[in-house]
Amino acid sequence: MKGDMSTVPPGWEVLARSRATHSPPELLLQVAAGLRATLVVDSRGRIVWMDPVLAGAAGWRDGAPAGHPMEEVLGGLPWLKHALDTALEGTEGLCEGHEHGQRLSAVVVPVFGEDGTQLGVCARLRTLDTPKQPPAGERQAREHLEHQTSVLRATFDSIADGVIVVDLSRRITAFNKRFQEMWGLTDEMLEERDAEKALASAAPLVKDPERFVAGILRRMLPSSEAENSDIVELRDGRVFERKSLPQRLGDTIIGRVWSYRDVTVERHAQAEQARLLAAEQSARERLEESFAVLDTFLNHAPIGLGFIGKDLRFLRLNDALAALHGRRREEEIGRLVREMTPHVASTVEPLMRQVMETGRPIIGLDMTGEVPATPGQQRHWHVSYYPVRTAGGGILGVGAVVVEVTAERHAQAERERLLREAREAVRIRDDFLSIAAHELKTPLTPLKLHLQMMKAQVGAGRLVAQHHVDKALTQVSRLAVLVNDLLDASRIQAGRLELCREPLSLREFVREVLSDFRSTSPLHSLEFEEPGEPLVVMADRGRLAQVLTNLLENAFKYSPTGGTVHLRAERVGGEARVSVRDEGIGIPEDQQAHLFERFFRARNAPISGFGGLGLGLYICHDIIERHGGRIWVESRLEHGSTFHFSLPLAS
């Protein structure tokens, strides 16, 4: 056997650097490796490792007898055993002996942990024919070794994990203080170094002792090679992460290392984090649910609803509001109010800002305008803006509620119009009744008078005076005209005014009407400007005469101070046109459009000054339209009026 004891072998530094991960037996083994020991014995004198050559020399042909007492193993090498005994008592030594004709010498060194506990003994053997290393080198190596051993021991005890090392005979070969603290195992409890007893003391601390013990014992079997880790839960709430791995010497498993790390805080933190995550998740789900419900209500609400953020962007809105802007809801979310509603932005933006600045709502604002959805159409809304606040009272934005009231407004306008019309109808009826009464009564009084005169004359046996008869007949005609006008008006209303049309030459026709038309007024003169051609139209002779007579009578009637009434018939394009011009009171411009309405009388023609039921022009209008013609007026107040009607010429 050859060897070299000179210095710390290469690789020692690496072992030294990784010392924090090694247990006491490992320390012993590391020291042994550093020394290139031939033999390693633990503190109880059991063989930990033995060079196979030496094992052979001691008579153990099948390899290193780890775990056996050294007396049993080294029976054939008493000189070596003696040196080992001395070293186990703490004293290093040198010894020599013969074996198979070779002189051997051994350096035997006790190995101590940091707490002074002896870990074991390392022996290094060499043949004496190898030149001796200077003793100073050996000493130096040993001192270095002891120093490193104490460092390793200190490191072992200072690590945060509790570590225990158990050999294959279930004897505890090392443990650190942290291990004792974690499991509450006193020095006395571990004195015997019996792993099973220590396990029995520790097991009651665990929640599931049976499983715990079974797991440890299973891994203590020499066949259990694998590294593994698991979690041990203690009754007092602590949680340990346990790792176990085989302890090897060279390729040989000589025991098992167990390390425990207290992961209670991390576990609780993890559990708390998981709980918080779950709570957050469930809160988020609840929130999403609420939003879904809210969205359903929002989107099916018949009114426009929106939530506008501080930067005046739509954060939420419903279909009804988006539809007002002519878009879909998704297109508007996140967009500026200004972009989406440019037509009303200048009105609504200042209001929204006001709500956010003052925190006070604006309720029931009436707004009218056009929206892109219905261009060119005025729509009306009732709009309210409310501040939207956080639970802490901070303003988040503005909630907008837009209620469409266009239909109501139209209905209201229609109601008002109908009411006005109804009132107007009532007024017209009342006016008509009083006018009709007045108009009917007017001829009755002279009629009655003339009849009484005639009665008196007949009673006195005298002849009835002709002028009484004529006057009475005039009043009867007047009554007949009034009654006929009323009948015609009601026929027109019922759509029952009928025409009997025939070809008429306007020139002859007008001449005929004029021959029947008698004006007794000395203030007026009448001129007829005849057409140069007959101008034939298809017309109802009687009805057309009624129209012309009415226009002529009005021309005289509404020219109280006299003047010339000018009648003209002419061809204009494919039409025959008849015009009656007077120099009378004229018609206010704003009244002209209503002249042809039933019962209409212009305000400058009071009933007291000018009789009439306001039916003549209404009847004329209807008769002319039934002939396929038109009737209209040109007039200037106090400068006279010209009434025209035109009829299609007969082809």
Report the residue number, 298 or 602, with the smaller CB distance to ligand ADP.
602
Q: Indicate whether 613 belongs to the interface with ligand ADP (CB under 6 A).
A: yes
Q: Which of 106, 482, 587, 623 binds ligand ADP (CB under 6 A)?
A: 587
Q: How far is the CB of 611 from ligand ADP (least distance, A)?
A: 7
Report the residue number, 365 or 526, with the smaller CB distance to ligand ADP.
526
Q: Indicate whether 641 belongs to the interface with ligand ADP (CB under 6 A).
A: yes
Q: Indicate whether 585 belongs to the interface with ligand ADP (CB under 6 A).
A: yes
Report the residue number, 436 or 650, with the smaller CB distance to ligand ADP.
436
Q: How far is the CB of 531 from ligand ADP (least distance, A)?
A: 22
Q: Which of 612, 622, 627, 629 binds ligand ADP (CB under 6 A)?
A: 612
Number of residues that bind ligand ADP (CB under 6 A): 22
* 77 closest CA partner among 36, 106, 110: 106
Phi-psi label, residue 555: left if phi above 0, alpha if psi -120 to 50, beta otherwise: alpha
- Give every strand in the sheet of 239-249, ordered side by side: 172-175, 162-167, 252-262, 239-249, 228-233
What are residue 503's phi and psi, to 5 degrees?
Answer: -70, 130
Single out the segment in contact with ligand ADP by CB under 6 A; choices: 200-208, 294-302, 348-356, 597-605. 597-605
Report the residue number, 43 or 554, with the smaller CB distance to ligand ADP.
554
Residue 580 and residue 643 in contact, taking contact as beta carbons nearer than 8 Å = yes
Query: For residues 598 and 494, what is the distance between their CA atoms, to the nearest angstrom?
Result: 13
Single out the segment in contact with ligand ADP by CB under 6 A; choices: 245-253, 379-387, 502-510, 598-606. 598-606
Q: Which of 84, 125, 617, 624 binds ligand ADP (CB under 6 A)?
A: 617
Q: Which of 47, 614, 623, 646 binds ligand ADP (CB under 6 A)?
A: 614
Q: Which residues contact 311 (CB under 8 A, 6 or more apart)?
A: 336
Query: For residues 401 and 216, what is the distance between their CA atoms, to the nearest angstrom?
Result: 72
Single out the segment in contact with ligand ADP by CB under 6 A; choices: 73-81, 230-238, 296-304, 585-593. 585-593
Q: Which of 12, 212, 432, 558 binds ligand ADP (CB under 6 A)?
A: 558
Q: How far is the CB of 648 from ligand ADP (least distance, A)?
A: 24
Q: Indicate whether 595 belongs to the interface with ligand ADP (CB under 6 A).
A: yes
Report the residue number, 318 or 641, with the smaller CB distance to ligand ADP.
641
Structure tokens at 618: 């209404």
The bridge status of strand 239-249 relative to strand 162-167 is unpaired
* 323 closest CA partner among 376, 291, 386, 371: 371
Site for ligand ADP in 518-557 (CB under 6 A): 550, 554-555
Query: For residues 141 and 389, what is the distance between their CA atoms, to the nearest angstrom?
Result: 79
Burial readout 558-570 (b: 16 or more C-beta within 10 A, e: otherwise)? bbeeebebbbbbb
Single out the segment in contact with ligand ADP by CB under 6 A; choices: 132-140, 274-282, 379-387, 616-624. 616-624
* 629 closest CA partner among 561, 577, 572, 558: 577
Q: Indicate whether 15 belongs to the interface with ligand ADP (CB under 6 A).
A: no
Q: Which of 163, 185, 544, 605 binds ligand ADP (CB under 6 A)?
A: 605
Q: Which residues contact 571 (CB under 8 A, 6 or more apart)?
A: 531, 533, 535, 577, 649
* Rounded alpha-carbon distances, angstroms, from residue 512 to 505, 507, 542, 544, 548: 11, 9, 11, 12, 11
Report the residue number, 123 or 620, with the smaller CB distance to ligand ADP.
620
Q: Indicate whether 615 belongs to the interface with ligand ADP (CB under 6 A).
A: yes
Q: Which residues contact 314 (CB under 8 A, 6 or more apart)?
A: 306, 307, 308, 332, 333, 334, 335, 336, 337, 340
Residue 256 and residue 246 in contact, taking contact as beta carbons nearer than 8 Å = yes
What are residue 7's phi and psi, to 5 degrees?
Answer: -135, -175
Residue closest to ligand ADP (Cβ):
612
Q: How far is the CB of 452 from ligand ADP (least distance, A)?
A: 29
Q: Which positions lie near ligand ADP, rule CB under 6 A?
A: 550, 554-555, 558, 582, 584-587, 595, 600-602, 605, 612-618, 641
